[in-house]
Amino acid sequence: MMKRPGLSGLSTRMPQSGIREVFDAAQSYDDLADLSIGEPDFATPEPIAAAVSEAVGTGASSYTETVGRPELRAALAEKLAVENGIDAAPESEIIVTPGAMGALFAAVNVLCDPGDEVLVPEPYWPNYHGHVASANARLAPVSTDEAFVPTPDAVEAAVSDDTTAILLNSPGNPTGAVIPPDRLRALDDVAAEHGLWVIADETYEDLVYDGATHHSLASDGDRFDRIVTVHSFSKSYAMTGWRIGYASAPERVIDAMRVLQEHTVSSVPEPAQVAASAALANRYVVGELREAFAERRRLVLDRLAAIDGIDPGTPRGAFYVFADVSAHTTDSRAFVERLMSEAGVASVPGAVFGAAGEGYVRFSYAADVETLTTAMDRLERAL
């Protein structure tokens, strides 16, 4: 009898994201008000689409340098310097990647060896687990305070001999938490003391509310030399389908990420890079999108707060409400299934964001106002 070939250990270490599981389950329902996916409902702004249409018509459809088009990296360096306070050399300290996800995947794989450990504050975006598992490393959750912000003491307590890096996401998914600058510096001080890398996921940097401000840790003094900062065009510009992000880091890290990217995706498609350049030239669209999300945020927070047994908290960033539903359930997965089947509302159970997420549900307010209003009406009737 012929021996049946098997799959690699990697395939079993990387489970499907719990968010995607909800997305797949939602396909079996009709007329759902879907608040499960973190994707802006807006079309890519017209100036960006127009620039791409013109460029493709004149031949912008070729391979580019693995790290990205020089003119895009120059524009990114200017944006990082002016808006983030990060001094990154465009020729050696910036790489254009297939979304923030591509940057995170590459960063983890060039910083970690098998058996290494990455500290991640919990609750956390479940794809971090897959990124860490791809390097045959381990994700070690770090507890957070009542505002879902990690403390220096919690990080110190979580560090082990195997710890290589800490991943900080601010503004955060799923919680919407924004880590204050002083806290970021204190967390990095712990990392520096133990010789750890910091991976700063700043995907939602432009989406902050109620006076909150975003701070890039790599802008502070000599901290840049130990930090990989990850950014995305997906959320701020309604460009999720373009699959383009970027990272800044010390030259030796960027060079290693370049080699890894060369052997996986080669480079980001040139039309997407043209779109990114156009986005940077039309930054005003970010403010327009942020204002729209701020209105939707207020709608959802006010409506959820009026429902008995739901505490929406006060998320100050991203476009998620991580609502405490523990008065209704101790099983967030079953609760989300009930909301789909009985209320016609799709959301994401807190349990998929780590053990600390149990008792919570993530609602995205990236959907249009009509969908959000319908969802709130249905939740009020069901609960």
Per-residue pLDDT tens listing for the chain (383 residues): 688 899 999 988 888 888 888 888 888 888 999 999 999 999 999 999 999 999 999 999 999 999 999 999 999 999 999 999 999 999 999 999 999 999 999 999 999 999 999 999 999 999 999 999 999 999 999 999 999 999 999 999 999 999 999 999 999 999 999 999 999 999 999 999 999 999 999 999 999 999 999 999 999 988 999 999 999 999 999 999 999 999 999 999 999 999 999 999 999 999 999 999 999 999 999 999 999 999 999 999 999 999 999 999 999 999 999 999 999 999 999 999 999 999 999 999 999 999 999 999 999 999 999 999 999 999 999 99
- The whole-number pLDDT of residue 90 equals 99
Longest dimension (CA), the chain: 68
CA dihedral 156, 160, 165, 167 (to 10 degrees): -50
Q: CB atoms < 10 A from the CB of 61, how many?
A: 12
- The whole-number pLDDT of residue 25 equals 86
Q: Where are the alpha helices (DSSP H) in 120-266?
A: 127-134, 152-158, 181-193, 251-262
Amino acid at 264: T
CATH topology of domain 9-44+285-382: Aspartate Aminotransferase, domain 1 (3.90.1150)
CA distance 351 to 36: 14
Q: Give residue limits of the domains in the chain.
A: 9-44+285-382, 61-281
CA distance 302 to 330: 24
Which residues fall within 8 angstroms of residue 36, CB to CB, at 6 or more apart? Answer: 19, 22, 23, 26, 346, 347, 348, 362, 364
In this structure, what DSSP letter does residue 350 have? Answer: G
- The whole-number pLDDT of residue 20 equals 86
End-to-end Cα distance, the chain:
58
Let me know if domain 61-281 sits in CATH 1.20.120.160.
no
Q: Which two tokens stand for residue 149?
A: 């912000």
CA distance 105 to 133: 10
pTM: 0.96
CA dihedral 155, 159, 164, 170 (to 10 degrees): -10
